[in-house]
A and B are shown apart, each in its own frame.
Chain A
Amino acid sequence: MSTPEARSSRSVLPIQPVPAEDEGEGDRTSLYQAHQKIYPRSVQGVFAQWRWGMVAITQLVFYGLPWLEWGQRQAVLFDLGARRFYIFGLVLYPQDFIYLTALLVISALSLFLFTAVAGRLWCGFACPQTVYSEIFLWIERRFEGDRSARMRLDASPLSVNKILRKGGKQIAWIMLSLWTGLSFVGYFTPIRELTNAILSLGLGPWEIFWVLFYSFATYGNAGFMREQVCKYMCPYARFQSAMFDRDTLIVTYDQGRGEPRGARSKKADPKVQGLGACVDCTLCVQVCPTGIDIRQGLQYECIGCGACVDVCDTVMDKVGYARGLIKFSTQNAMEGGWNWAQTVRRIFRPRVWVYSAVLWAIILAVGLSLWSRDPFRVDIVRDRATMARWVAGGHIENVYRLQLMNAAEQNLYFQWQVDGLPGLRLVTESLVDVGATESRWVSVRLQVPDGAAPAGSHPIHFRFTARLPHGELAGQSSEKTVFLIPR
């Protein structure tokens, strides 16, 4: 339709250096930035309480779960060596990998849903990076004090006081990191054996490696990297921003109400002084764990933790202004001046409903599939080389290997029958017991009389019945395979 010249001129976006909007020459800066340490100030308020609640819940689960017992074993244990995964009453085989996929799909959809509703909710409240940074900061505060004390300490020359405070913090951090590493490995090696092994110095090389590796990761990420992880490493941080829209709850500064900012006398009316509600106390900057100024608008560093909301509310209370100069709100709500009810009504938009519906459908499907799951599983594997053979009496024989997998915690008795071809019969025994959570290979021979069916591959079925030791039915299943008749 168009000449090559016209096409190329249309597809290339011209880059035009233009002078900055502000006056001035502009600087020439390095492509790399030195790390500037952030000293987040402690904060109290609704969102801080929520965050500490989430810290308590997630860490109670993480540190506590390996210690729970279920019958004679650890309640949650991923035994990689034996390839058995115990989750309370459930025993999973590597063949049940689909459940891990389902878990990941559920996690992804939840992330989509939460992000569409309230932005980086996960980042600000539940992400391990935030949770451990919060715990490490709490320890730091116990030893070195709050923001200004920490800054003074860092600037002060080396002294006994400084060594004691810094050293004490490091020891506490390292102890907590080691405990975290130990708890992590406790999901894969029974944690009671693990702690006993430590006391008797009998840890295996890989256990030592993983305890130290996970400890080091915790220590480094929560003690030193902190916001650097969110800013430069985390992929979720980047793609979550792509899921925002104008109806997503984000931490926003009410520019219309706040500006022009400035310190003021308490007695005079700010309107008379020509000032907005922002008293420019900079507390919102001081509490920010990523060190940004929310008053410049939404920035990619913002993890949506709401610390600035909390601290600004306390300041507003103190100076006697209405709360909510910084608050969770949507872009549309800010522009339209909506109240909370209007905002919430708009948040439940089709996108959120679709995410919720799909999420619940998958959760229900997975739950149903787990609930109705047979406590056993059978795989039928045909020999690769031995397709079929003639045996005495002109019979044609096929050989199969059955993997009988018992996912119950007691013995199971497997019995099977075959059908699908005229005259098809089992030549080998058809009753085998398999110990609790064990799997067992059994080779099975099937025969048909010569001429029972034309040459080729014929679908047949194995019908399995599994019984508990006392004869109660544990479940039934049917597996498809083929019987080959040679030419």
Chain B
Amino acid sequence: MSDFISNFWHLYVAGITLVSILACLLLLWFSGKAKAMTANDNTTGHVWDGDLREMNNPLPRWWVGLFVITIIFGLIYLAMYPGAGSFAGQFGWSSAGQYNAEMAKGNAAVAPRYARFLDMPAQEVSKDPQAGAIGDRLFMNHCAQCHGSDARGSKGFPNLADADWLYGGTPDAIKTTLVQGRAGHMPPMAAAVGTPEDVRNVAHYVLSLSKGPHDALRAALGKTKFGACAACHGLDGKGNTAMGAPNLTDDVWLHGWGENAIVNIINNGKLNQMPAQADKLTEGQIHVLAAYVWGLSNNAGAGAAVGPAK
């Protein structure tokens, strides 16, 4: 697809490029014909400031040859590669095409390394030191941007090294998360809960579930309004991994801790998205990565604390 919005600019750029090259050739032609006036003392006869004379220093002829070679190279290059406007060139080269070709080549080159792991269950892969080193590098390149280099996340980005899982912590669930991505959606619930005072009471009830600091009276009042939340988080508030509803009874606070943070979430809701990785990673890479992430919370002693030697 052309980058130019109208055909004019394509022709304009191509025209300027070709005319400039041909102008260089013309300049060479004329300068080869032209003669400079030289006096007998090998100066051009020009005098500045009364006594500053200009010596005649002709360029070497081989330099003209080099210039002609450059022009020929330029024309061949423009015929073969994109450069003259939107003309794609005989080779049909593009930077995106080269990237894809190199990625395909690279993936094909490392495929044998992954083949061994694809036949192994994730639990076993997570204990393999080579897979661990690969997993660590994949994690650094694709996951650490959000989940942190130690996989412990931050506000809005889940901790992957604890036992708390929004969508389930089996290797298959992790793999599904990686392949398809996840979109956790908490709708604004203020209207369903009731008055602002009710919302505050529910917040205290939620705090009481994890035995955080709360007002017992408000919590008791809030419990009666919790029905609006139970549809997703369950009557006991332990959440639902089928739809990614967080467990409210543990001490994990993905979107902030304390009364104000909870009130804010009830009032405004939250859409939290994990992007799908299927297009970016190969099947083997996803398998190794899923095993690595599973291992973070299931293999005691192993973890992201110490990366591989480089």
Is A216's beta carbon under 8 Å from chain B?
Answer: no
A interface footprint on B21-43 (CB within 8 Å = 1, 0 otherwise): 00000000001101111111101
| Docked CA distance A435–B146 (Å) | 30
Cβ of B154 and Cβ of A387 under 8 Å apart? Answer: yes
Cβ of B307 and Cβ of A26 under 8 Å apart? Answer: no
Chain A residues touching B, majority SS: loop
- Output the nearest chain A residue to B31 by Cβ-Cβ distance: A31
Is B253's beta carbon under 8 Å from chain A?
Answer: yes
- Write the nearest CB–CB distance from B77 to chain A, whole angstroms: 20
Contacts of A161 in B (CB 8 A): none
Cβ of B63 and Cβ of A232 under 8 Å apart? Answer: yes
Q: How large is the interface on A (under 10, 10 to 19, 20 to 34, 35 or more residues)?
A: 35 or more
- Write the nearest CB–CB distance from A308 to chain B, whole angstroms: 20
A interface footprint on B144-179 (CB within 8 Å = 1, 0 otherwise): 111111101111010000000000000000000000
| Docked CA distance A397–B305 (Å) | 15
Is A192's beta carbon under 8 Å from chain B?
Answer: no
Stretch at the interface among B46-54, B193-201, B218-226, B237-245: B46-54
- Give the contacting residue for A28; candidates B36, B40, B309; CB below 8 A: B36
B interface footprint on A14-31 (CB within 8 Å = 1, 0 otherwise): 011111111110111111
Contacts of A442 in B (CB 8 A): 305-307
Contacts of A19 in B (CB 8 A): 39, 45
Stretch at the interface among A141-149, A370-378, A426-434: A426-434
Q: How large is the interface on B (under 10, 10 to 19, 20 to 34, 35 or more residues)?
A: 35 or more
Cβ of B47 and Cβ of A16 under 8 Å apart? Answer: yes
- Output the nearest chain B residue to A450 by Cβ-Cβ distance: B257
Is A392's beta carbon under 8 Å from chain B?
Answer: yes
Is A479's beta carbon under 8 Å from chain B?
Answer: no
Cβ of B32 and Cβ of A22 under 8 Å apart? Answer: no
Is B1's beta carbon under 8 Å from chain A?
Answer: no
- Write the nearest CB–CB distance from A365 to chain B, whole angstroms: 31
- Give the contacting residue for A386; candidates B36, B61, B64, B157; CB below 8 A: B157
Cβ of A383 and Cβ of B144 under 8 Å apart? Answer: yes
Residues in A15-49 with C-beta less than 8 Å from chain B:
15-24, 26-35
Is A152's beta carbon under 8 Å from chain B?
Answer: no
- Write the nearest CB–CB distance from B251 to chain A, whole angstroms: 5
B interface footprint on A375-389 (CB within 8 Å = 1, 0 otherwise): 000000001111111
Cβ of A20 and Cβ of B45 under 8 Å apart? Answer: yes
Chain B residues touching A, majority SS: mixed
- Write the nearest CB–CB distance from B148 to chain A, whole angstroms: 4
Is B92's beta carbon under 8 Å from chain A?
Answer: no
Is B271's beta carbon under 8 Å from chain A?
Answer: no
Contacts of A432 in B (CB 8 A): 306
Contacts of B251 in A (CB 8 A): 392
| Docked CA distance A231–B310 (Å) | 48
- Give the contacting residue for B149; candidates A16, A18, A21, A401; CB below 8 A: A401
| Docked CA distance A387–B157 (Å) | 12
Given contacts A31-B34, A232-B60, contact A18 B153 (CB under 8 A): no
- Output the nearest chain B residue to A438 by Cβ-Cβ distance: B309
Cβ of B307 and Cβ of A443 under 8 Å apart? Answer: yes
B interface footprint on A158-182 (CB within 8 Å = 1, 0 otherwise): 0000000000000000000000000
A interface footprint on B132-150 (CB within 8 Å = 1, 0 otherwise): 0000000000001111111
Q: Which 7 A-B pairs have the closest CB atoms?
A: A20-B39, A386-B148, A28-B35, A33-B58, A26-B39, A441-B307, A386-B154
Is B20's beta carbon under 8 Å from chain A?
Answer: no
Is B100's beta carbon under 8 Å from chain A?
Answer: no
Cβ of B45 and Cβ of A390 under 8 Å apart? Answer: no
Listed in ascending order, the chain A residues whose CB lies under 8 Å from chain B are 13, 15-24, 26-35, 228, 231-232, 383-390, 392, 397, 399, 401, 428-429, 432, 434-435, 438-443, 445, 486
| Docked CA distance A428–B306 (Å) | 10
| Docked CA distance A217–B309 (Å) | 40
Is B91's beta carbon under 8 Å from chain A?
Answer: no
- Output the nearest chain B residue to A16 by Cβ-Cβ distance: B47
Cβ of B307 and Cβ of A20 under 8 Å apart? Answer: no
Cβ of B49 and Cβ of A13 under 8 Å apart? Answer: yes
Contacts of B147 in A (CB 8 A): 386
Cβ of B48 and Cβ of A32 under 8 Å apart? Answer: no
- Output the nearest chain A residue to B146 by Cβ-Cβ distance: A385
- Output the nearest chain A residue to B54 by Cβ-Cβ distance: A15
- Give the contacting residue for B148; candidates A21, A385, A438; CB below 8 A: A385
Is B56's beta carbon under 8 Å from chain A?
Answer: yes
Is B99's beta carbon under 8 Å from chain A?
Answer: no
Cβ of A26 and Cβ of B305 under 8 Å apart? Answer: no
Contacts of A401 in B (CB 8 A): 149
Cβ of B154 and Cβ of A388 under 8 Å apart? Answer: yes
